[in-house]
Structure 1
Amino acid sequence: MRIFDPHIHMSSRTTDDYQAMYEAGVRAVVEPSFWLGQPRTSPESFVDHFDALLGWEPFRAAQHGIAHHCTLALNPKEANDPRCTTVLELLPRYLVKDGVVAVGEIGYDAMTAEEDHALAAQLQLAADHSLPALVHTPHRDKAAGLHRTLAVLRESDLPAEHVVLDHLNETTVEAALASGCWLGFSIYPDTKMDEDRMVEVLRLHGTDRVLVNSAADWGRSDPLKTRRVGEAMLAGGFTEDDVDKVLWRNPVAFFGISGRLNLSVEETASSHQGNSILRGGE
């Protein structure tokens, strides 16, 4: 089973996670830029975060045989903090870099006017840079959030087929499917979706334009949930080809829109800018 996790926050995970993911079949990941868990004090902290997603994290992933890509953006939660919003002016210099395969996560958290502005501005950045967009649908009032997201998307220059609507569930899947966008599902231990519910969604709506991710971060989450979905699909009567489509070919097709997807792992160096993960060398 080959797996491409299209949304996982590896900066919050350990090297043991990378090893376990590789053993489970994970060979590629996309890491969206993320909030810190506490308020940022300046937009400069985004610069360090973006640089890490383009340098250190791909190096760390390569040591474990995993190709790492990223998406960059001002995320919905931090779009409400005036100390962060000037990062929108910094993004264009980062969106031209090879490791960036989409603009994201963008979308809604609390559905404020500030989030409206950030979403519209970043959809335009995606269109300007010929990149797809990874859109976060809110955890609360999800149906209303999706409706508002689609309204902004319809006014943008970015085609629906270049957008994945993430964190969907049974209440939003039909509207998302009708929109022409790609469908993203986050599989969690306690919240969002689980693997059995995901299999039922696939049974009802098919495997086209579906991305399944773990969205693992520093909260209660599981970076092997993509594998669990594959196993549940096989147990539920899906074929190995169905599993390969959902867990590999679909994310390759979506992020391939960027023209920057590189699934080879060629990193052999033992350090990145002086930082060694060997901790003592050999």
Structure 2
Amino acid sequence: MRVFDPHIHMTSRTTDDYRRMADAGVRAVVEPAFWLGQPRTNPGSFADYFDSLLGWEPYRASQFGVRHHATIALNPKEANDPRCRPVLDLLPRYLDKDGVVAVGEVGYDSMTPAEDEAFGTQLALAREFELPALVHTPHRDKAAGTRRTLDVIAESGIDPGRVAVDHLNEVTVGLVRDTGCWLGFSIYPETKMSPPRMVEILQRYGTERVLVNSAADWGHSDPLLTVATGEAMLAAGFTADDVDLVLWRNPVAFYAQSGRLDLSDLPAPEPSYAGSSLARGGS
């Protein structure tokens, strides 16, 4: 099994996590810019953070044979803070860099007018820089938030095939399925989406344009839930090729649209799944 985690916040993980991920077959990751857990008080804080995503974090990942790319944006939560709004003026400086494979996370947290403006502005930047967009749907009022998200995407003129609508669940997947956007799912130990629930969605909606990620942020999370989802797929009767499509080829296809995805010279995965379904012939 080879795994490309298309949305994981490695800034909040330890080097031991990188080692475990590499041992389990994770060979590439994309880290979206996001809220760090407490308010940032000036654009300089974002500049330092963006520099870390494009400098230190790729180096840290490379020590374990993991290829690291990033997405850059003013996240929805902090779009509401007037002190952070000037970050929008910084973005062109970063969106032109080689390691940036999308604009993100953009979208909604509380569906405020400030979020509307930041969302539209950053979708326009995605078009200008010919980058995909990674869109955060709100954790509250998910159906209404997803509908509003899709309206803004349509109004922006961006090609829906260059947009991943993330944090979907059973309530919202049907709203996005036929729009041409990619379907993103974050797998968590207790909230959002679990491996068994993800398998049920794949059985109902298929594997086309599906992106499965661990997010693995500051809260209770697990960077190996992508692997657990692959195991659950195999146990449910999906083929190894189905798993490879969802966990590798789909995220590669989405981010390759940036023209900046570099997966050259990656080491071949060396499965270490003793006792698991993968050790019994699943990969």
TM-score (ref. length: structure 2): 0.93
Aligned pair count reads 266
Partner of residue 91, structure 2 = 91
Partner of residue 19, structure 1 = 19
Does the residue aligned with 1:103 lie in a helix, a strand or coil?
strand
Partner of residue 182, structure 2 = 182
Partner of residue 270, structure 1 = none
Amino acid at match of 1:100: V
Written as runs of structure 1 = structure 2, the 5 A alignment for 1:263-282 is 263-264=263-264
Identity of aligned residues (%): 70
**What whole-Å deviation, never above 9, does each CA across 1:68-97 have from its counterpart, x for those lacking one?**
000000000000000001100000010000
- Contact in 2 for aligned 1:24/1:227 (Cα 8 Å): yes
- Contact in 2 for aligned 1:4/1:27 (Cα 8 Å): yes
Distance of 2:23 and 2:255 partners within structure 1: 23
1:105 aligns with 2:101: no
Q: How far 1:252 sits from its partner (Å)?
A: 0.1
Partner of residue 152, structure 1 = 152
Written as runs of structure 1 = structure 2, the 5 A alignment for 1:125-164 is 125-164=125-164
Q: Which runs of 5+ in 2 are unaligned?
A: 267-283
Distance of 2:265 and 2:12 partners within structure 1: 21
Distance of 2:241 and 2:202 partners within structure 1: 14
Q: How far 1:157 sits from its partner (Å)?
A: 2.5
Distance of 1:102 and 1:265 partners within structure 2: 22
Partner of residue 277, structure 2 = none
Q: How far 1:178 sits from its partner (Å)?
A: 1.6
Distance of 1:129 and 1:177 partners within structure 2: 26
Superposition RMSD in Å? 0.8
Q: Give structure 1 regions of 4+ aligned residues with deviation exceeding 3 angstroms.
A: none
Amino acid at match of 1:120: G
Partner of residue 195, structure 1 = 195
Partner of residue 218, structure 2 = 218
Partner of residue 252, structure 2 = 252
**What whole-Å deviation, never above 9, does each CA across 1:205-233 have from its counterpart, x for those lacking one?**
00000000000011100000000000000
Distance of 1:126 and 1:56 partners within structure 2: 24
1:167 aligns with 2:176: no
Q: How far 1:264 sits from its partner (Å)?
A: 3.1
Distance of 1:181 and 1:208 partners within structure 2: 11
Q: How far 1:168 sits from its partner (Å)?
A: 0.1
Distance of 1:45 and 1:75 partners within structure 2: 13
Does the residue aligned with 1:211 lie in a helix, a strand or coil?
strand
Amino acid at match of 2:216: A
- Contact in 2 for aligned 1:67/1:265 (Cα 8 Å): no
1:204 aligns with 2:207: no
Does the residue aligned with 1:134 lie in a helix, a strand or coil?
strand
Distance of 2:218 and 2:116 partners within structure 1: 27
Q: How far 1:36 sits from its partner (Å)?
A: 1.6
Partner of residue 78, structure 1 = 78
In structure 2, the CA distance between the partners of 1:159 and 1:261, relative to structure 1 (3 Å rule), is same
Partner of residue 239, structure 1 = 239
Amino acid at match of 1:46: F
Amino acid at match of 2:225: K
Does the residue aligned with 2:178 lie in a helix, a strand or coil?
helix
- Contact in 2 for aligned 1:76/1:105 (Cα 8 Å): yes
Q: Which runs of 5+ in 1 are unaligned?
A: 267-282
Distance of 2:174 and 2:138 partners within structure 1: 16
Amino acid at match of 1:163: V
